[in-house]
Structure 1
Amino acid sequence: MADSQEQPERQTGGGAQPTERRRGWNVLVQHVTEHKIETGLWATRLLTISFTLGYFIPLFGNPYNLYYKVLMSNAATSALRLHQRSPTLQLSREFFGLLFLEDSCHYLIYSLLFLTLSPATIIVMPVALYALLHFASYSLTLLDCLGLDAWWGARFLISIVDFQTRNILRLIAFSEILVMPMLLLMIFSGRASVFSPFLYYRFLSLRYASRRNPHTRTMFHELRMRFEAMVLEPRCPEFVRNMVLRTIAFISNLAPVIPPPS
């Protein structure tokens, strides 16, 4: 998950040993200077994680305000990442078409959408988990610059996150899907507008068609297989079977067409 590090330089000549890589605070400062955007992304993700912890464990500050700070810090991360991926703005249809293919654009839309709605815990889950994954990855890079090998505790926690990357991505995908029925319930309680599900459907369609992250698409497929297996059991009532199969068919018709890989 972490970025690959440069191999240590090797001396020429027979029997030469590899030189030690320079480490320390000066190396860290140089790295930060040369990688301002990456370091900025690391900092905004740290803010997202901190605000999320404050929201779930409200020891300091108002949880209501911290909830919206989670979304605002994620919007800042997404905008910065989008600038990194598409630095040159072009007022053309092709440019905006490519822009909407970027995962960072998807989550910028996500954050802006839910900044206008009432708080719901599940909404911050994908945001916080993505921040945790990328924060852990870049933290290893910064620790390598410092050479703090003795910080085994931090490295151990990061390795746990790294080991659980696939499960975390699956949980993110499941959360993205689960937000849609939650939005429908929020409409009846007056916490969301009738337009919210349509806007979120656009986000979910973008996630489904994502080129770099197939986990949402895979999770839809797994949920479909599981529900079909459940309702096709002989003991399942027929009216339940018909209702579930019709719902699956309706959702499948809403899925965007995935272009073949070029």
Structure 2
Amino acid sequence: MQPMLSPHHRRMSWDHHLQLTRRISRDTTVVAATDPVALMDGLHDPSVFIEMVNLQSPMAGRRNSFCVVQRMSESENRNEEDRPQSQPSTGLNVLTAHIGRNKVDFALWCTRFATIIFTFNYLIPIFGSGYNMYYKALLANSATSALRLHQRLPQVQLSREFIGKVFIEDSAHYLLYSMIFFYSPPVTWVLLPVFLFALLHISSYSLGLIELLGPNALGVGRMAIGIVEVQSVNLLRTIAFSEIFLFPMLLLSFFSGRSSLMTIFVYYRFLTLRYSSRRNPYTRNTFGELRFLVESYAQKPSCPSIIRNLVSKLVALISRLAPPVITAEQQ
């Protein structure tokens, strides 16, 4: 607490304070700078506040420095001692508090982590049957999609407009994706988009959790997350390619009896939803890249005419089946 001196006290005469000590109030004393006893008492007493004040001498306009020694009261001392110290911004307690405030986000982190673990266990059966791990990975992805959809649309309504909003969301697309293959025989290719999406989304949130532990915590984990974030665009393009090439694989598996016509039809619907996605244009861009590559090859003189005609008809068919893209301005 800064001591307040009235103008009268600041104009105290030089003659009164050159070598004397004068009490201003019950807890404030003005002493000359040459008084070593008062200064030493103030420096060694934590309840004393010292302020240097320049006093004007009426003789030859000289100035000299004086000390205002103010002794704080016992109540002020207690308040200073009882003042809470600033809490650390990192540590396990901070991480626990963050998880408590963001339960849904942490639940999403857990379901994505489970998707990654189940996918690894399907490829390399360490814990349990690989057959069961395949469906557990799809189930974990369903839980992730359902939680994310709840975050995006918390208020459920029984209306046509609400159903339309649901199918615009990417989380609804991947909830449908998991349901398509949950009742079909295992196909390893199916888990590739699920695994890569879980890896992408878990990395950014994991970095935030590591930052809460401390700036130097889990250096290896930070390095791995950095690699994933640098390759995020390539991973998204890989996801789009895998979703597109899964459709002809389902057609081939239909003739071998491993998939049904209903699976192919519903998956085609899934692809149309991904093509018209507003938040993730990678599927649409990948279709464009594939069309450019195929047409460039068909235009080469070395390409047989029968293949050129087949490519032309196939591109025309896919273009007719492609849904219209609804932009944000058209909403």
TM-score by length of 2: 0.72
Q: Determine if the alignment matches structure 1 residue 34 to structure 2 residue 101.
A: yes
Correspondences of 1:83-232 after superposition (within 5 Å): 83-147=150-214, 149-232=216-299
Report Cα offsets for 1:65-119 as digits up to 9, x if no partner: 1111110000000001101111110001111101100000000000011001111
Where relative contact order (Cα < 8 A, 6+ residues apart) is larger, the structure is 1
Contact 2:95 2:212 in 1 (8 A): yes
Structure 1 residue 259 displacement after superposition: 2.2
3-state secondary structure, aligned to 1:191: coil
CA distance in 1, matches of 2:189, 2:216: 36
3-state secondary structure, aligned to 1:245: helix
Q: Which amino acid aligns with 1:127?
A: V
What RMSD over aligned residues (CA atoms) do the two structures have, in Å? 1.2
The alignment of Structure 1 onto Structure 2 pairs a total of residues equal to: 244
3-state secondary structure, aligned to 1:195: helix
1:7 maps to none
Which has the larger helix fraction?
Answer: 1
2:27 maps to none
Deviates more, 1:113-122 or 1:252-261: 252-261
Structure 1 residue 199 displacement after superposition: 0.5
Q: Which amino acid aligns with 2:160?
A: R
Identity across matched positions, percent: 52
Q: Which amino acid aligns with 1:209?
A: S
Select 2:91's aligned residue among 24, 30, 35: 24
Structure 2, unaligned stretches of length 5 or more? 1-85
Q: Which amino acid aligns with 2:99?
A: V
Structure 1 residue 60 displacement after superposition: 2.4
Select 2:305's aligned residue among 238, 242, 262: 238
Q: Which amino acid aligns with 1:175?
A: S
3-state secondary structure, aligned to 2:302: coil
Select 2:144's aligned residue among 56, 69, 77: 77
CA distance in 2, matches of 1:151, 1:240: 55
Contact 2:115 2:195 in 1 (8 A): yes
2:130 maps to 63
Deviates more, 1:102-111 or 1:19-28: 19-28
Q: Which amino acid aligns with 2:149?
A: L
3-state secondary structure, aligned to 2:303: coil
Structure 1 residue 189 displacement after superposition: 1.2
2:120 maps to 53
CA distance in 1, matches of 2:284, 2:323: 10
Distance 1:151 1:110, change over 3 A: same
Distance 1:81 1:144, change over 3 A: same
2:42 maps to none
TM-score by length of 1: 0.91
CA distance in 1, matches of 2:144, 2:126: 25
Q: Determine if the alignment matches structure 1 residue 249 to structure 2 residue 249.
A: no
Bigger radius of gyration, 1 or 2? 2
3-state secondary structure, aligned to 2:280: coil
CA distance in 2, matches of 1:209, 1:20: 48
User: Where in structure 1 do 4 or more consecutive aligned residues deviate above 2 Å?
Assistant: none
Structure 1 residue 148 displacement after superposition: 5.4
Structure 1, unaligned stretches of length 5 or more? 1-18
